[in-house]
Amino acid sequence: MLKTFKIGGIHPPENKLTSGGKIQKLPVPEQVIIPLGQHIGAPASPVVKKGDAVKAGQLIGQATGFVSANVHSSVSGTVTAVESRPDAAGLLKPCIVIQVEGDEWVPEVDLSEKIERHTDLPKEEIIKAISAAGIVGMGGATFPTQVKLSPPPGSKAEILIINGVECEPYLTADHRIMLERGEEILIGVQLLMKAIEVKKAVIGIENNKRDAIEHLQSLAAGMNGIEICPLKVKYPQGGEKQLIQAITKRAVPSGALPIAVGAVVQNVGTALAVYEAVLKRKPLVERVVTVTGKSVKNPGNFLCRIGTPIAEVIKAAGGPPEDTAKVIGGGPMMGRAIFNIDSPLMKGSSGILLLNEKEGERKPCKNCIRCTKCVSVCPMGLEPYLLMKLSQYNLLERMEEEKVMDCIECGSCSFTCPADRPLLDYIRLGKARTGMMIRNRKK
Amino acid sequence: MNTIVITIIALCAIGIISAIILYFVAQKFKVEEDPRIDIVEGLLPGANCGGCGYPGCRGLAEAAVKADSLDNILCPVGGAESMKKIAAALGREVVEQAPKIAVVKCNGSCENRPRLNRYDGARSCAIEHSLYIGDTACAYGCLGCGDCVAACPFDAIHMSPATGLPEVSDEKCVACGACVKACPRNIIELRNKGPKDRRVFVSCVNKDKGAVARKACKVACIGCMKCAKECPFEAITVENNLAYIDYNKCRLCRKCVTVCPTGAIHEVNFPPRKVNPETPKTTVTANAKPAPVSQPVSSVPGNSETGEKKETV
């Protein structure tokens, strides 16, 4: 019997079209646009100016404040502008634009393929290296990793959970890195265990990735304290709270962080980035992105420099098919439509999904028939139909009572609704407004 | 038979005892209320729209009775007339306040502001605004999902099928401000209704630099300062690349309208200007009559000339 979370969940079609192909290296583009705010928290402040020559791996944005992350140049070349550029949603965000010349890295970065294994480093040194490298949660939430590794005083981590679930349909980036960079990931996991001083780490992987589970199990055989845990295929198995519940059987209390039950969760991509940052001294300037879609010519996983325009990545996969109606950043469940494909890839971009008119269509909203399907699939035990109504009437106090802040925005309710009601759209709006109300109250 | 009689007597006794207890409890816990509150509430329209800033009509009534003067209290629905009656009932004086009206400060119709994508999410401006820039390149302009229409309790604002923008009815709007609160982009402003309903305002809220704003929308304010320099009454200020006309200072001379290179400044309900071949760019249209009944929202066929200037450069 495979482990899974207790309540709710759905089974969307998996459509993992790209799990068979190797990760391809995308050529360095002619120009990169590197946003200064690629993470949750305060945007970095630029430390280069127009006309400066930069090398790949060089610091170009300094973290400002506790919850923030450094930003590094992913290419070598000349800074042509430090200005606001439209992001994927079309809104202007501060960016550094670099015209690429050659591909020269800063000397301290170790670019060899040799695997370093000396994980015997002090805790502070590991966290310092992670912080300097600007590592953020690679699963998509982009929360600065060093903050997650420094638990608040009074709480103690007992278990490290590594998220290799990849429950989003279509995406296979984590699957491929587990297969191709498995050893490095495990070394990264060991480093993370050192950093939070735990003896046990569990890597949770959905059971549809048998090859990755077996590969990591054989690699982890000689390592102490690392366990691979196959999980039932069910969305949203990769949600932080769902994963903790599946693996440890502990439920994170409403409004609390995972550390409340002694767990720290990191993505497999983050573990790989930690390995590179600590032992190869390579900052987070590259990531694997899945480019996929049913009519894409060469769907696959691409190792891209951060800041590469999304259009370039699509071009590498054979260009946008003629019937493309929507480009989604991320997976089909939680991803968002991209308005501007000239916007850059960021640290949290896990996939680019091209949908045709029929796949991307949103059907007109019909009346709620009170079937409570949304209630039965909600993995957080909320009542989405009610929250949507409350959001429409802007009853924020009532929404707070109904625990809207627990919503993980997984989209299971909208997916399952037979009346095609935009449940998540309204809940997300209400959640944002309720969150603002709570913050204002604290002030 | 006996049982029925006993039952009736017992029930009556319980009823009488309960009535006595309730009477004394009611006396003991009586809430003293100023009887004038009820009188004032009776004089109010009873729309409970909250446009005055108080929670419903009773809220305003309580505030009016408590307050020393009625200067800062205004029922936008009842207007000056209601306030006069209230003042008379309370034996106070009332300063007449200029009537206001909601003004939509965006002219980004399909011709002026090309649509770059199609939004097919939930029909709510607030949601669209939280997701992305919208279906045009303007991050400030109207999203056209009609949150303001849904918010209006007086049926005074409607989406024009021709422009895809909301239009306010001069007769129905009472300036309660519900649409102002509902608009996530703060496009709607309450402005002085003006003499004979004549108004001049900047119909744009885009704070981008001129070139960016102009690229997104043909009739955007580009912050060129021409209007501010032209204005003889110093009513126009330009901040963040956006002009704003202070309606308290504006004397409706309309010089700014003529000088605006993009046609972002609108005049409504003015009589037609004398035809001047040198300035064809500001083709001003207005109602044939000197605006006793203004109809800027009219979509009646045949009355294509609305109060708002649509012609651009």
- Summarised one tens digit per residue, pLDDT across range A69-116 is 999 999 999 999 999 999 998 888 999 999 999 999 999 999 988 888
More confident residue, A412 or B48: A412
Q: Mutate which of B132, B147, B212 to test chain A, going by most A C-beta atoms within 10 A?
A: B132
Q: Which helix (H) or strand (E) holds B202?
A: strand B199-202
| Dihedral class, residue A320 (left if φ above 0, else alpha if ψ from -120 to 50, else beta) | beta
Q: What are the structural domains, with CATH classification, of chain A?
A: 123-279 (3.40.50.11540), 373-442 (no CATH)
- Residue A368 annotated as lining a ligand binding site: yes
- At A24-53, the pLDDT tens digits run 999 999 999 999 999 999 999 999 999 999
Report yes or no: B215 at the A interface, CB cutoff 8 Å.
no
Task: Determine phi and psi for A139, rounding to 5 degrees.
Answer: -75, -15
**Cα atoms in the Cβ-side hemisphere of radius 13 Å centred on A39:** 29
Q: Which whole number is the average pLDDT over A385-409?
A: 94
Query: Has residue B305 got a pLDDT over 80?
Result: no
User: Is the model's pLDDT at B183 over the cut of 80?
Assistant: yes
Averaged over A183-211, what is the pLDDT? 94
Is A83 in the B-facing interface, judged by CB distances under 8 Å?
no
Distance of alpha carbon B183 from alpha carbon B181, whole angstroms: 6
pLDDT tops 90 at residue B5:
yes
Average pLDDT over residues A384-409: 94
Average pLDDT, whole number, for chain A?
A: 93
Angstrom distances, CA of residue A394 to CA of A149, A397, A402, A437: 37, 9, 13, 11
SS3 label, residue A220:
helix
B273 pLDDT band, cuts 50/70/90, is confident
- Residues A416, A397: contact at Cβ < 8 Å? no
Instruction: State yes or no: pLDDT of A253 exceeds 90.
Output: yes
Q: Quickly list DSSP for A65-126.
A: SSS---EE-SS-EEEEEEEEEE-TTS-EEEEEEEEE-S--B-TT---S-PPP------HHHH
**A409's tokens:** 């925005």
Which tens digits make up the pLDDT trace of A2-16?
A: 899 989 999 999 999
Mutation target vs A (from B115, B129, B131; most A CBs, 10 A cutoff): B131
**Residue numbering of the annotated binding site of B:** 49, 52, 57, 75, 138, 142, 145, 148, 152, 173, 176, 179, 183
SS3 A247: helix
- To test the contact with chain A by mutation, choose from B127, B138, B209 the residue with the greatest count of A C-beta atoms within 10 A, namely B127
**pLDDT tens digits for B135-158?**
898 999 999 999 999 999 889 999
pLDDT surpassing 50 at residue A364: yes
Query: Is pLDDT at B280 greater than 50 in this prediction?
Result: no
Mark yes or no for CB contact B122/A90 under 8 Å.
no
pLDDT above 60 for A378 = yes
pLDDT band at residue B304 using 50, 70 and 90 as cut-offs: very low
Chain A environment of B131 (Cβ under 8 Å): 89, 336-337
Longest dimension (CA), chain A: 64
Helices A384-392 and A423-442, axial angle in degrees (round to 10): 70
Which region, left, alpha or beta, applies to residue B186 given φ > 0 means left and ψ of -120 to 50 means alpha?
left
CB pair distance less than 8 Å for A362 and B121: yes
- pLDDT tier for residue B291 given thresholds of 50, 70 and 90: very low
Q: Is A378 annotated as a binding residue?
A: yes
Tens digits of per-residue pLDDT, B99-133?
889 999 999 998 899 988 889 889 999 999 999 99
Inter-chain residue contact B137 with A90, CB threshold 8 Å: yes
> Using CA atoms, how far apart are residues A112 and A282, in angstroms rounded to an integer?
11
- The Cβ of residue A217 has, within 10 Å, a number of other Cβ atoms equal to 16
Q: For residue A241, is pLDDT > 90?
A: yes
What type of residue sits at position B279? T
Nearest C-alpha of chain A: how many angstroms from B287?
Answer: 39
The full DSSP string for B67-100 is SS-STT---TTTHHHHHHHHHHHHT--------E
B312 pLDDT tier (thresholds 50, 70, 90): very low
Residue A393 scores a pLDDT above 60:
yes
Looking at every residue in chain B, the average pLDDT score rounds to 83
Which of B38, B50, B46, B44 is CA-nearest to residue B86?
B44
Residue B124 contacts A where some CB pair is shorter than 8 Å: yes
pLDDT at position B276? 57
CB contact under 8 A, B122 and A426: yes
Question: Tens digit of pLDDT for each residue in B184-227?
Answer: 999 999 999 888 889 999 999 999 999 989 999 999 999 999 99
Residue B277 has pLDDT above 80, yes or no: no
CA distance A127 to A195: 6
Predicted confidence at residue B287, as pLDDT, reads 41
Residue A75 pLDDT: 95
Q: How far is the alpha carbon of A55 from chain B, nearest alpha carbon, in Å?
A: 32
| 3-class SS of residue A224 | coil
Q: CATH number for the B35-90 domain, one of 1.10.15, 3.30.420, 1.10.3470, 1.20.950?
A: 1.10.15
State whether B117 and A339 contact (CB < 8 Å).
yes
In chain B, residues under CATH classification 3.30.70.20 are 100-268
Q: Which of B116, B119, B124, B136 to mutate to test the interface with A (most CBs of A within 10 A)?
A: B124
The residue assigned the tokens 């192909």 is A21
Question: B66-88, pLDDT tens digit by residue?
Answer: 887 777 788 888 877 888 888 88
A92 reaches B (C-beta below 8 A): yes
Q: Delimit the CATH 1.10.15 region(s) of chain B.
A: 35-90
In this structure, the number of other CB atoms found within 10 A of the CB of residue A241 comes to 24
pLDDT confidence band for B166 (50 / 70 / 90) = very high
Per the confidence metrics, is the pTM higher than 0.80?
yes
The gap between the terminal CA atoms of chain A, to the nearest Å, is 48
pLDDT at B89: 85
pLDDT in the model for residue B297: 39
- 3-class DSSP assignment, residue A46: strand
Predicted pLDDT at A354: 95
For the cut 70, the answer to whether the pLDDT of residue B275 exceeds it is: no
Q: Is residue A239 scored above 60 in pLDDT?
A: yes
CATH of B100-268, one of 3.30.70.20, 3.40.91.10, 3.40.50.20, 3.30.1010.10: 3.30.70.20
Q: What is the mean pLDDT of residues A379-389?
A: 96
Q: Does A374 count as an annotated binding residue?
A: yes
Question: Please, are residues B71 and B96 in contact by the beta-carbon 8 Å criterion?
Answer: no
| Percent of chain B scoring above 90 in pLDDT | 46
Q: Which of residues 17-76 of B touch A (CB under 8 A)?
A: none
CA distances from A355 to A76, A305, A327, A340 (A): 34, 24, 6, 15
Region B164-193: mean pLDDT is 91
B137 touches A at CB < 8 Å: yes
Q: Where are the alpha helices (DSSP H) in chain B?
A: 2-28, 35-43, 56-66, 79-90, 125-131, 147-151, 178-182, 210-216, 226-230, 255-259
